[in-house]
A and B are shown apart, each in its own frame.
Chain A
Amino acid sequence: MARRTGAVTGPVAAGGVVVLILAALLAVMSRADWPVTLGTADWAVLRFTVWQAFLSAFFSVLFAIPVARALARRRFPGRGALVTLLGAPFILPVIVAVLGILAVFGRAGWVSEVLGMFGVAPLSIYGVQGVVLAHVFFNMPLATRLILQGWQAVPAEQFRLVGQLGLPPPMVFRIVEWPILRQVAPGAFALVFVICLTSFAVALTLGGGPRATTIELAIYQAFRFDFDLGRAAVLSLLQLVVAGGAAVIALWVLPPLALQAGRDRVRRRWDAPAPWVDAAWIGVAAAFLLLPLLAVTISGAIGLWQMPLSVLTAAWTSAWVAAVSTFVLLIMALPISAWLAQARWGGGETLTLLGLAASPLMIGTGWFILIYPFAAPVRFALPVTALVNAMMALPFAVRILLPPMRQVFNNYGRLSAGLGLRGISLWRVVLMPRLRPQIGFAAGLGAAMSVGDLGVVALFADPEVATLPLQMYRLMGSYRTEAASGAALVLVALAFGMFWICDAWGRRHVAG
């Protein structure tokens, strides 16, 4: 029997991810002073981390359900565009999104100003509520997408049937919708939970004080101020175990991430309530997700005039890093997906989730220690950044690629084998043309995530080649807040632009 495609490259790529993380962890541990003891403050950090992730996941899903339901059963002009736009927060750079959220929900934000007109006290966003609000902002679109997909998997006939039978809405919910929700909602919950576990930048600004410290933030402090490598290593391990454990559970219950969700196939419903209920949910979601974007755009447009030219150089660097990172992402994700798609054992996917659970700062520091005896780590700043960014996007890419890959192997596997198609030619003739939309979508996601990342660059930073988020941060650090808003807008444009290019590349083929 011919060797399967990806049977070697797949495990090698997945193994590479594991080695990359473990080598970094071991390097950090090798330089640590032992033993390390975790105090009560550290357990408080763990508790807060899990608690805020739980709340964030809970509210993201709770809010996503009625929105997905409304989107699933309504047809209106611009619906497709709205669904796409509602996905925007997920690829919005965190550093920018926090500015937008504050401009809308902060003490001096739009909502507080409106409340002030009626003599109501301004919103208090700082604290766990702010962290959760920001997380819902980022992840509710993802949850909506997953749930919407589930809804659309219900055959139209079912809704027609319950319509003919004239069942009351509660009954329809119990018979048709509840089973779907029970299938998709836990998966969406689990994914958002894992993403929020490793949150860093959000907790930093909106947390309100030391009680809102996440594990990732504690790792940062251990590295930066105390330079306590032992503590950093133990905390990183703790994060790997907690987030990794949650990720394993998530995978069990996770629906695949499909790309066409909500673009077509509106389920005609005979049982729908008055349209204003659905319109209200969609309106609230759109306002919640799009107003911060609008705020960033407005303040950015003003700041554009003050922006120094170096921002454009930095944008070029970021685009470059994102391109390399996307390339690395695909090199890892494609063989891994091909391997997993044909494997009987599905557990391999958990390996990719390590990328999400590992602290980027730990990986950065570990590789700094490893590279240092041989070469100047600064020279590896961009490759390391690109690699770490690719790893963080890997679980999403595999999630997107795996289901259609399975289908292609089911449909064309025997035929290709019969024709003797293997290796490169199998990719070129069979896989690539059929997976092009998913590859484009995964690449776009990876590119956007890479553009917005500030994490690991800070340690390796080379003053000559700053990435855009770093340059924006530097502007803020030199009192130039307005210019920084301009840079933020450029950052948003770059992230969306790169996503759009990749996604459009994938779609062009489908259209043609």
Chain B
Amino acid sequence: MKYLMFSAAVLCASAAWAETPVLKVYTYDSFVSDWGPGPAVEAAFEEVCACDLELIGAGDGAALLARIKLEGARSEADVVLGLDTNLVAAAKETGLFTTHAVEADYTLPVAWTDDTFAPYDWGYFAFVHNAQMDAPANFRELADSDLKIAIQDPRSSTPGLGLLMWVKAAYGDQAPEIWDGLSDNVLTVTKGWSESYGLFLDGEADMVLSYTTSPAYHLIAEQDATKAAAAFEEGHYMQVEVAGKLAATDQPDLADQFLSFMVSEAFQSIIPTTNWMYPAVTPAGGLPDGFDTLITPAKSLLKSPEEAAAARDEALTEWRDALAQ
């Protein structure tokens, strides 16, 4: 009898819930963590949508795409948030995503025209170092120095793949030569960003592949101005983080509403001090204090999704050959 009552209560509860539509968004782990944008985004969107927003962490950016491929068309996800331009071509190839209707005045350094994925933030890759150190001004100087750098594996990390594209975009056919020069500077190659950054903070590495916005975290959250990003003359490769709607979603309208919300003031103003990236649309109040101290690269490098996909295998082989010696 007790069991029956319990079941009835559960049924009633789920019936009550069924009235509120649920939007499931797959994203990377650090987005949903207590310190990421997740909690604030969820609260802000639920205020306007009369829905339940479920942010589901699925590992890092690359694992996110693997998860969607694993689940295929039957996926419960309505929106995927957190891929970057280097993964966009592979994501489109799955045929699981549909076009969006998001329009916004993006403040990206490059024009954005993709009709399947909409950007929500972006940043420049950069080598972060301690401010009192004399940093190299380009890849060749770095290769000639005896500085030790911690980088990420392009086969498991989006910044790692970004560095490959950076070298490729800046040096083209000379990329293998650059990697040859860098091979004795590479302290270690880690699975993800966290391990490398940890090595840098522990003093193991002189520089770490991260973002130009990383020093902002230390400055704003820790009142620590001792970290800086090295400005490279070749220009800096960009990471543009995007979101897209799944074709098989059972909440198409809500998904569209979320994507529009994503480029609105409410979402964009959360990004700088939680995800520590530049918002895709600069909020009306501007960027938080401290962001003005960051370096602004002279040149923004970015390969289109198709170019990035085409260059990936060759770049990977060059990288592996240079570092495996």
Contacts and interface: CB of A to CB of B under 8 A. Distances in A.
Interface stretch (B43-51, B54-62, B112-120, B228-236): B54-62
A474 B58 contact: no
Nearest to B222: A479
B315 to A, nearest CB: 13
A484 interface: yes
Contact of A474 (B30, B71, B188, B203): B30
Nearest to B29: A474
A225 B194 contact: no
Nearest to A108: B203
Interface in B153-202: 153, 155-156, 183, 186-195, 197-199, 201-202
B320 interface: yes
Contact of A209 (B188, B204, B217): B188
Chain B interface category by residue count: 35 or more
Contacts of B320: 41, 210
Most A CB within 10 A of own CB, among B33, B71, B193, B324: B33
Contacts of A209: 183, 186, 188-189, 323-324
A208 B217 CA distance: 27
B195 A308 contact: no
Interface in B311-325: 319-320, 323-325
Nearest to A463: B57
A271 to B, nearest CB: 46
Interface in A450-469: 458-459, 461, 463
Interface string B57-72: 1110011011101110
A224 B70 CA distance: 10
Given A220-B156, A310-B34, A204 B66 contact: no
Interface stretch (A145-153, A240-248, A255-263, A368-376): A368-376
A510 B150 CA distance: 51
B148 interface: yes
Most B CB within 10 A of own CB, among A211, A225, A463: A225
A461 B29 contact: yes
A207 B189 contact: yes
Contacts of B191: 204-205, 217, 220
Interface string B32-45: 11111000000000
A484 B319 CA distance: 31
Interface in A67-124: 99, 102-103, 106-108
Given A225-B156, A227-B69, A478-B33, A107 B204 contact: yes
A481 interface: yes
Contacts of B256: none
A223 B67 CA distance: 9
B59 A481 contact: no
Contacts of A206: 188
Nearest to B66: A227
A221 interface: yes
B187 A208 contact: yes
Contact of B188 (A208, A225, A227): A208
Contacts, number: 127
A217 B155 CA distance: 10
B76 interface: yes
Interface in B72-90: 74, 76
B195 A205 contact: yes
B155 A481 contact: no
Nearest to A207: B188
A368 B67 CA distance: 10
A372 B74 contact: yes
Contact of B192 (A365, A459, A477): A477
B55 A126 contact: no
B16 interface: no
A476 B197 contact: yes
A106 B57 contact: no
Nearest to A126: B188
B221 interface: yes
A227 B156 CA distance: 11
A44 B297 CA distance: 39
A2 to B, nearest CB: 39
B29 A224 contact: no
A108 B130 CA distance: 14
A227 B65 contact: yes
Contacts of A220: 156, 191
A473 interface: yes
A316 to B, nearest CB: 16
18 contacts: A102-B202, A107-B203, A107-B205, A208-B189, A209-B186, A209-B323, A224-B63, A226-B155, A368-B70, A459-B63, A463-B32, A474-B33, A476-B195, A477-B29, A477-B192, A478-B30, A479-B217, A484-B198
